Amino acid sequence: MALLPILEFPDPRLRTKAAPVDAAEVTTPVFQQLLDDMFQTMYEAPGIGLAASQVDVHKRFMVIDTSEERNTPMVFINPQIVSASEGGRVYQEGCLSVPGIYADVTRADSIVVRFIDRDGKQQELVADDLLATCIQHEMDHLDGKLFIDYLSPLKREMVRKKLAKQRKHVA
């Protein structure tokens, strides 16, 4: 397994809309290895979700594990939200591509998502609370959207400046 580099805002590649994964590709050793590498990268970061777009692979899939024990890895390939609850819930979100920044984002509290799993099988899952938020967050990445896009332009500019300042201190 290998750690993959995570793209960070404002990298323009994060704005790329991901293409669907070919069903025949899912069970190949190369694709399965990429999934393993993404899980390792996500766990090391540490995070609870990672979209392929964040590691510069612009295909529609993501890995998620919201368990405290990190023992419930989930793979969502070509995910589609089939339905979403009317009521929203506010979560303070963070993102591996926007390190050190957290903001309140309102998303559907419960969703039904249809996807292909790691074994190439079509699945449908009812998700709520943190898992629903995480799925929606990672699906945004696949559409070239970041959680900070839900913020006002002024707050988004403050985030950009804060990250630029952090990078200067690291360099």
Q: Is 138 known to be catalytic?
A: yes
Average pLDDT for residues 109-124, to the nearest whole number? 97
| CATH topology assigned to domain 12-170 | Peptide Deformylase (3.90.45)
Ranges of each domain in the chain:
12-170
Average pLDDT for residues 43-51, to the nearest whole number? 97
Of 82 and 162, the one with more pLDDT: 82
Q: Known binder of ligand: residue 134?
A: no
How sure is the predictor about 171, in pLDDT bands with cuts at 50, 70 and 90? low
How sure is the predictor about 16, in pLDDT bands with cuts at 50, 70 and 90? very high
Q: Known binder of ligand: residue 95?
A: yes
The pLDDT tens digits for 85-94 are 987 999 999 9
Average pLDDT for residues 51-75, to the nearest whole number? 97
Is 35 within 8 Å of 1 (Cβ atoms)?
Answer: no
CA distance 21 to 133: 23
How sure is the predictor about 44, in pLDDT bands with cuts at 50, 70 and 90? very high
pLDDT at 129: 94
Average pLDDT for residues 19-31, to the nearest whole number? 97
Q: Which of 68, 69, 93, 138 is catalytic?
A: 138
Percent of the chain with pLDDT over 70: 99
Average pLDDT for residues 58-83, to the nearest whole number? 97
Average pLDDT for residues 150-157, to the nearest whole number? 90
Q: Which helix (H) or strand (E) holds 39?
A: helix 29-44
* List of E strands, the chain: 49-51, 61-64, 74-84, 88-95, 98-108, 110-116, 122-128
Average pLDDT for residues 96-116, to the nearest whole number? 96
Q: How many CA atoms lie within 13 A of 64 on its CB side?
A: 21
Average pLDDT for residues 142-169, to the nearest whole number? 90
Q: Known binder of ligand: residue 169?
A: no
DSSP letter, residue 26: T
